Amino acid sequence: MATINDNYLKLKAGYLFPEIARRVNTFAEANPDAQIIKLGIGDVTEPLPEACRTAMVKAVEDMGDRATFKGYGPEQGYLWLREKIAAHDYQARGCQVDASEIFISDGSKCDTGNILDIFGKNNTIAVTDPVYPVYVDTNVMAGHTGPANEAGEYAGLTYLPMTADNDFTTELPNQKVDLIYLCFPNNPTGATATKGELKKWVDYARENGSIILFDAAYEAFITDPTLPHSIYEIDGARDCAIEFRSFSKNAGFTGTRCALTVVPKTLTAKAADGSDVDLHKLWSRRQSTKFNGVSYIIQRGAEAVYSEAGQAQIKGLINFYLENAKIIRDKLTAAGIKVYGGVNAPYVWVKTPKGMSSWEFFDQLLQTVHVVGTPGSGFGAAGEGYFRISAFNSRENVEEAMKRITEKYKL
Ligand SMILES: *Cc1c(COP(=O)(O)O)cnc(C)c1O
């Protein structure tokens, strides 16, 4: 008799967004005239930059000619793309990352999940709370946790709360942890980490033999020039950190799919016999076995992000979303609502007014002003009492949603 991976039965997942959809649908059916504005989902709305589209069209033409046709590409990604990433995203910022340490993939979501393939079963794991649910659920699936409690916290995981009480910073855990997931600028809170903050983690990781899994999906939204864009801006990070980046949020590739993971060749972890094993080799082995590379056409599109036109166009996109975030921040603040984030990130993290729970505020906004956001409690127990509003939307929708909220909440 075939059996299943019972760890899947522990998952609370699939709860948050389906529950939002259920409540929105129920409301919409009962109120067919309500113009609902969705500021909930973390997906981009603006079209792909022209430079990327042009490069992809040209690449399609390459595929139509026997002389330039491409079959299987290198599993690690084409060198011309990896060299551009190494030069622009890393070496230009003083980070020692070589093209050979970069792995092109079809998404950071997949990579942050798949990376567990190369780690042992008995690692202790730390995640922030609130958290991007992928880090937690993939550990649940891999059997690294016990069951979840009422608040959705899994036994065996170390949660690092990030709330207004600690200024949305992460505190070092009391117990030793082996794998640490950090995401800055943060989804969902929009919080950032200073160089000092990241140095604290790098020092901790080096002292304890831990590995930091650093998700920099939103680095392009950093406006404060003192903030680090990469964990490798911190001395010693090459010995303790893997970094994930994506073209999804900076260049609008959420539906196109291209991302990258950096595994420095200086990074090792312990084998059962106590020897040090090179993680770059393991990830390379994992990818070349289970992954066959990103489409040539898409990699040409990603390469165009680094052209002069591409750089100008993605800057335009990011500024557009950041301007949305500023409108959201300003209007909510004027309405007497406390907001965080949204300056170096496309997410505004809202303190629910009058001590409402995250879901109470969700229902109130939906029912009174027909605006949908994401309840903070869906991202973790410490997200209770908060609410995420995404800047990924049209200007018109953002302005209309803020007008409605301001009218309802103004003092
Ligand atoms: C959107 C997002 C990503 C990007 O995922 P892709 O699979 O590359 O689209 C990664 N991490 C976080 C936290 C995100 O919000």
In tens digits, what is the pLDDT along the chain, a chain of 411 residues?
Answer: 999 999 999 998 567 888 999 999 999 999 999 999 999 878 999 999 999 999 999 999 999 999 999 999 999 999 999 999 999 999 999 999 999 999 999 999 999 999 999 999 999 999 999 999 999 999 999 999 999 998 889 999 999 999 999 999 999 998 899 999 999 999 999 999 999 999 999 999 999 999 999 999 999 999 999 999 999 999 999 999 999 999 999 999 999 999 999 999 999 999 999 999 999 999 999 999 999 999 999 999 999 999 999 999 999 999 999 999 999 999 999 999 999 999 999 999 999 999 999 999 999 999 999 999 999 999 999 999 999 999 999 999 999 999 999 988 864
Q: Whose CA is nearest to atom 11 of ligand 1?
A: 217
Alpha carbon of 380 to ligand 1 centroid (Å): 18
For the Cβ of 132 lying below 6 angstroms from any atom of ligand 1, the answer is yes
For the Cβ of 182 lying below 6 angstroms from any atom of ligand 1, the answer is no
User: Angle between the 395-409 and 358-369 helix axes, to the nearest 10 degrees?
Assistant: 100
Residue 2 is assigned to a structural domain of this protein: no
Residue 78 is assigned to a structural domain of this protein: yes
330 shares a domain with 238? no
Please state the atom number of ligand 1 nearest to the C-alpha of residue 132.
13
For the Cβ of 217 lying below 6 angstroms from any atom of ligand 1, the answer is yes
Whole-number percent of the chain with pLDDT over 90:
95
197 shares a domain with 109? yes
**The domain spanning residue 206 has which CATH number?**
3.40.640.10
Which tokens sit at 24? 């929105």
Alpha carbon of 259 to ligand 1 centroid (Å): 9
Please state the atom number of ligand 1 nearest to the C-alpha of residue 258.
8
Residue 3 is assigned to a structural domain of this protein: no
166 shares a domain with 151? yes
Residue 255 is assigned to a structural domain of this protein: yes
For the Cβ of 329 lying below 6 angstroms from any atom of ligand 1, the answer is no
Q: What is the pLDDT of residues 66-101, one digit of tens each?
A: 999 999 999 999 999 999 999 999 999 999 999 999
- Residue 14 has a pLDDT of 64
Residue 1 is assigned to a structural domain of this protein: no
Domain boundary among 253, 287, 307: 307
Q: What is the pLDDT of residues 102-157, one digit of tens each?
A: 999 999 999 999 999 999 999 999 999 999 999 999 999 999 999 999 888 999 99
Please state the atom number of ligand 1 nearest to the C-alpha of residue 246.
8
281 shares a domain with 348? no
Q: Which of these, 379, 411, 405, 399, lies nearest to 15 by C-alpha position?
A: 379
Which tokens sit at 169? 């910073």
For the Cβ of 108 lying below 6 angstroms from any atom of ligand 1, the answer is yes
For the Cβ of 181 lying below 6 angstroms from any atom of ligand 1, the answer is no
For the Cβ of 75 lying below 6 angstroms from any atom of ligand 1, the answer is no
Report the domain count for the chain. 2
Alpha carbon of 23 to ligand 1 centroid (Å): 25
Residue 4 is assigned to a structural domain of this protein: no
Alpha carbon of 222 to ligand 1 centroid (Å): 16
Alpha carbon of 379 to ligand 1 centroid (Å): 15
SS3 string, the chain, reads CCCCCHHHHHCCCCCHHHHHHHHHHHHHHHCCCCCCEECCCCCCCCCCCHHHHHHHHHHHHHHCCCCCCCCCCCCCCCHHHHHHHHHHHHHHHCCCCCHHHEEEECCHHHHHHHHHHHCCCCCCEEEEECCCHHHHHHHHHCCCCCCECCCCCECCEEEEECCHHHCCCCCCCCCCCCEEEEECCCCCCCCCCCHHHHHHHHHHHHHHCCEEEEECCCHHHCCCCCCCCCHHHCCCHHHCEEEEEECCCCCCCCCCCCEEEECCCCCEEECCCCCEEEHHHHHHHHHHHHCCCCCHHHHHHHHHHHCHHHHHHHHHHHHHHHHHHHHHHHHHHHCCCCEEECCCCCEEEEECHHHCCHHHHHHHHHHHHCEECEEHHHHCHHHCCEEEEECCCCHHHHHHHHHHHHHHHCC
Q: Whose CA is nearest to atom 14 of ligand 1?
A: 217
Domain of 387 in residue numbering reads as: 10-47+309-409
Domain boundary among 289, 307, 325: 307
Alpha carbon of 244 to ligand 1 centroid (Å): 9
Alpha carbon of 248 to ligand 1 centroid (Å): 7
Q: Whose CA is nearest to atom 4 of ligand 1?
A: 108
Domain boundary among 278, 307, 336: 307
**The domain spanning residue 356 has which CATH number?**
3.90.1150.10
64 shares a domain with 19? no
For the Cβ of 107 lying below 6 angstroms from any atom of ligand 1, the answer is yes
Whole-number percent of the chain with pLDDT over 70:
99
252 shares a domain with 177? yes
